[in-house]
Amino acid sequence: ALQRGISRKSFRVYYQPIYDARTGRFRSAEALVRLHDEKLGSISPEEFIRVAEQTGLIHSIGEMVFEEVCRFLSESDVLERGIRFIEVNLSTVQCMDDHLAETFRAILDRYHVDPHRINLEITESAVIFNESVMVNSIRKLQQEGFSFSLDDFGTGNASYSYIAKYPFRLIKIDKSFLWESEKDPVRNVIFLNMLSLIRGLERRSVAEGVETEKQKQMLIQRGTDYLQGYYFSKPLPEDQFLEYLALSNS
CA separation for the pair 100, 86 (Å, rounded) = 18
Determine if 156 is a binding residue for ligand C2E (CB under 6 A).
no
Kind and range of the H or E run holding 169:
strand 168-173
Q: Could you tell me whether strands 236-237 and 204-207 are parallel, antiparallel, or unpaired per DSSP bridges?
A: unpaired
Q: Which does 180 bind (CB under 5 to 8 A by kind): ligand C2E, Ca ion, none?
A: none
Helices (H) and strands (E) in the chain, counts: 12, 10
Taking the C-alpha atoms of residue 45 and residue 108, their distance in angstroms, rounded to an integer, is 25
Rounded to a whole number of angstroms, the distance between the first and last alpha carbons of the chain is 40
Residue nearest to ligand C2E (CB): 229
Enumerate residues 6+ apart whose C-beta is below 8 A from 59. Answer: 93, 94, 97
> Measured in whole angstroms, how far is the alpha carbon of residue 136 from the centre of its chain?
20
Applying CB under 6 A, which part among 107-115, 133-141, 223-231, 241-249 lies near ligand C2E?
223-231
Among 67, 124, 151, 238, binds ligand C2E (CB under 6 A): 151
Least CB distance from residue 206 to Ca ion, whole Å?
9
Least distance in Å: CB of 89 to Ca ion?
5
Residue 89 or 181 with smaller CB distance to ligand C2E: 89
Choose from ligand C2E, Ca ion, none: what does 115 bind? Cβ within 5-8 Å by kind: none
SS3 content of the chain, % helix, strand, coil (to 5): 50, 25, 30
CA atoms within 13 A on the CB side of 1: 18
Contacts of Ca ion in 145-204 (CB under 5 A): 151-152
Residue 42 touching ligand C2E (CB under 6 A)? no
Q: What angle do CA 51, 33, 62 make, to 5 degrees?
A: 65
- Residue of 9, 41, 42, 44 interacting with ligand C2E (CB under 6 A): 44
Judged by beta carbon, residue 245 or residue 250, the one nearer ligand C2E is 245
Q: Is 121 in the site for Ca ion (CB under 5 A)?
A: yes
Amino acid letter, 47: E
With respect to Ca ion, which residue has the nearer C-beta, 151 or 225?
Answer: 151
Partner whose binding site includes residue 230, from Ca ion, ligand C2E, none (CB under 5 to 8 Å by kind): ligand C2E
User: Per residue in 223-238, is it b (16+ CB within 10 Å) or e — as a string?
Assistant: ebbbbbbeebbebbeb
Is 124 a binder of Ca ion (CB under 5 A)?
A: no
Residue 229, contacted partner among ligand C2E, Ca ion, none, CB below 5-8 A by kind: ligand C2E
Contact positions vs Ca ion (CB under 5 A): 89, 121, 151-152
Contact positions vs ligand C2E (CB under 6 A): 16, 32-33, 44-46, 49, 62, 65, 89, 91, 151-152, 208-211, 228-230, 235
